[in-house]
Amino acid sequence: MEKEVHEQYEYARRRLRQKKVLYLHFVLFLLGSLFLFIANRFFGFGEVTTQNWCIWGITIWLFIFILHFIKVYITDRFMNKKWEREQIDRLVALQQKRISQLESSISEENQNKI
């Protein structure tokens, strides 16, 4: 039972760290977007190349943040260690079923030859 409690604690700790890093990413996104917008509009940084370069930078960063959000709240939430164990058990059961079918067919062939 203690091993199970330890696994639950480690899982909770890992999830908390993932969420903490995601929140930090969100705050950095907001501050970074604000900085990019101010640098483009008020300080004229990058005016020579394109007028709205900051919009492209913010859009790309938003896409990366959305991917990070999906990883933390969707992918890792459902595809955790428990899911991995269930998939492994299912695949092992399928292999054992196939092996038993092959063994029975081999034994039937041997009986038919005799």
* Overall average pLDDT of the 8-26 stretch: 91
Residue whose structure tokens are 């950095």: 28
What are the pLDDT digits (tens) for 58-77?
A: 999 999 999 999 999 888 87
Q: Could you give the percent of the chain with pLDDT greater than 70?
A: 91
Task: Give the DSSP H or E segment for 13.
Answer: helix 2-41
Residues 6+ apart with CB under 8 A from 37: 54, 58
Mean pLDDT of the chain: 85
Instruction: Examine the pLDDT at 29 and tell me if it is beyond 90.
Output: yes
Q: Are the C-beta atoms of residues 65 and 52 closer than 8 Å to each other?
A: no
pTM: 0.64
Q: What CA–CA distances, in Å, run from 31 to 23, 35, 50, 94? A: 12, 6, 22, 51
Give pLDDT, residue 45. 64
Give 102 or 76, the one with higher predicted confidence: 102
**54: how many CB neighbours lie within 10 A of its CB?**
20
The identity of residue 79, as a single letter, is: M
